[in-house]
């Protein structure tokens, strides 16, 4: 398969191209400023900022006929060119519920050598309606789609700069779940919780700073409470001896929960 795919990250819907993309073009670059000093042969070149990556391609939706139409209909595929084009247009516009256009992921083929994991549709241009059938239905439509790379908003502070994504907590979310979303490791939720001592339990609407994984990947997740922080490890401690003795007295090797004393 070498057809293109646009996947809606918000709704988990996908739009599959019927053909391989035409004139697939990617733009990557940076912005520079140049200044000259007296008697210099070459300018002093200074990096200003990067440019957002863009990717564009030519697509086509074609009305299927005969056995191919029956086959695709049974598979649940949308085979109407106008309906497919309208989905594409909808994804390029502001969603009333999200208050922004949906976030998409783009790739080509099974190997996905050309991909843009998170992007938005910047524009759909050159829409060309071609070949009407006898009923007046459009048989063929071509277009050019331009995608713009999307990055999460970064929050700068005095202590942490260019490393933190501010996540707004939704219903049912907690630190371990956020860590699974962001780092694919729920254990990092304990690290994030300890970085936010004023929010031991997050509530809906709380802003939780999630740093880049490179900033916390070396942090060891281990107990820090007084009864447990020295109860594990090779070194013999009073807490470790108490834990082992408790197990020996009960003739067990594990526990399922901790009973708090008040």
The chain-wide mean pLDDT, for the chain, equals: 81
pLDDT of res. 160: 45
The yes or no reply on domain 4-149 and CATH 1.10.3470 is no
Q: Of all residues in the chain, what percent carry a pLDDT higher than 70?
A: 80
Reported as a single tens digit per residue, the pLDDT across 106-144 is: 999 877 788 898 999 999 999 999 887 767 778 889 999
What is the pLDDT at residue 147? 96
pLDDT over 50 at 224, yes or no: yes
pTM of the model: 0.54
- So what's the pLDDT on residue 259? 57
Q: What is the pLDDT of residue 231?
A: 67
For residues 158 and 98, the answer to whether their CB atoms sit within 8 Å is no
State both tokens at 73: 């209909």
**What was the pLDDT predicted at 229?**
63
Q: Which two tokens stand for residue 238?
A: 């009073």
Query: Which position has the higher pLDDT, 76 or 5?
Result: 5
Structural contact between residues 138 and 81, judged by C-beta atoms closer than 8 angstroms: yes
Mean pLDDT, range 163-169, rounded to an integer: 78
Q: Over 50: is that where the pLDDT of 262 sits?
A: no
Any idea where the domains of the chain sit in the sequence? 4-149, 154-221, 227-262
Over residues 22-48, the pLDDT tens digits come to 999 999 999 999 998 888 888 999 999
């Amino acid at each position: 398969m070498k057809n293109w795919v646009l996947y809606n990250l918000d709704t988990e819907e996908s739009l599959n191209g019927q053909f391989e993309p035409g004139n697939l073009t990617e733009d990557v670059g940076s912005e520079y400023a140049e200044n000259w000093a007296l008697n210099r042969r070459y300018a002093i070149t200074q990096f200003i900022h990067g440019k957002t990556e863009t990717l564009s391609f030519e697509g086509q939706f074609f009305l299927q006929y005969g056995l191919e139409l029956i086959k695709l209909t049974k598979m649940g595929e949308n085979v109407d060119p106008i309906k497919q084009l309208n989905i594409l247009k909808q994804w390029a516009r502001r969603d009333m519920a999200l208050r922004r256009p949906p976030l998409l992921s783009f790739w080509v083929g099974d190997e996905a050598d050309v991909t843009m994991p998170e992007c938005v549709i910047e524009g759909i241009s050159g829409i060309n309606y071609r070949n009407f059938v006898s009923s007046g239905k459009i048989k063929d439509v071509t277009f050019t789609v331009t995608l713009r790379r999307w990055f999460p908003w970064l929050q700068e502070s005095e202590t942490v700069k260019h490393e933190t994504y501010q996540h707004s907590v939704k219903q049912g979310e907690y630190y371990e779940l956020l860590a699974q979303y962001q780092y694919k490791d729920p254990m990092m939720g304990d690290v994030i919780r300890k970085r936010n001592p004023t929010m031991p339990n997050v509530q809906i609407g709380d802003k939780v700073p999630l740093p880049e994984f490179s900033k916390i990947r070396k942090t060891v997740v281990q107990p820090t409470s007084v009864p447990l922080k020295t109860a594990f490890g090779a070194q013999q401690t009073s807490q470790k001896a108490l834990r082992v003795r408790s197990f020996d007295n009960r003739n067990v090797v594990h526990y399922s929960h901790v009973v708090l004393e008040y």
